[in-house]
Amino acid sequence: MTDPIRVLVLDDDFRVGGLHHAIVGERPGFAPLDPVRTIAEARAAIRDHRPELLLADVYLPDGDGISLVQEAGMDAVIVSAAEDAPTVRRALRSGAVAYLMKPFEKRSLTAVLDRYARYRNLLAGDRSLRQKDLDRALAIMHGAGESASASRSATEQLILGALGAEEASAAEIGERVGISRATAQRHLTTLAERGVVEVRLRYGAAGRPEHRYTMRG
């Protein structure tokens, strides 16, 4: 079983930090560390607990969150009210994988966390990567053209619910949900491109391959 991704929340407002900490704790595959409020506390937590993802505000009592991200050399999501272009560019240059502007809805952060988990999974290990592997990982992390607050359509939610932990074809999913095979196939293809589901080919007696879908672990 894959170890959960350790996440450190850095925000000088303890109420905001606690809220973000709670959101991280609700997501499967993530383990939030105790939130911190200063650069000094963050450095100590990074040294002692080795988090793998940092959620950092920019303006802190004893320094700058973006500088800390660059210093730490770790994956980070900048969470800040700063909306000026120079600050955003500086955050991205520091190595931040995403930038969320306060205030935002809860689903914006959960969407970023979910995308980060898939992005991290695609780039895990020591294997050699192909260009399409990298392109896919970056497309997932950047939302493939969608905003961070975008949620899956109702049809996609039904399809994922029908798929569950089992392997199924587009025809089987369409029958379970009550939609045509073509509609199910279109949504499943989109979900596969986003890295939400996996697809493999199964060859029948006639030799014609059938696409089979499963939830990505």
Question: How many percent of the chain have pLDDT more than 70?
Answer: 91
In a domain, residue 142? The reply is no
pLDDT in tens, 108-144: 899 899 889 888 888 888 888 888 888 888 888 887 5
101 and 14 both lie in a single domain? yes
- Dig out the tokens for 115 from the structure: 């995308």
pLDDT tens digits for range 136-189 = 888 888 875 454 444 456 677 788 888 877 889 999 988 888 788 888 888 888
- pTM listed for this prediction: 0.66
Give me the pLDDT at residue 1, please. Answer: 46
Amino acid 160: pLDDT? 82
Domain range holding 177? 154-215
- Do 57 and 108 lie in one domain? The reply is yes
| Total tally of structural domains belonging to the chain | 2
Q: Which of 28-42, 184-198, 201-215 has the lowest mean pLDDT?
A: 201-215
Residue 143 lies in a domain: no
- Asked if the structure places residue 140 within a domain, the reply is no
Asked if 12 and 108 sit in the same domain, the reply is yes
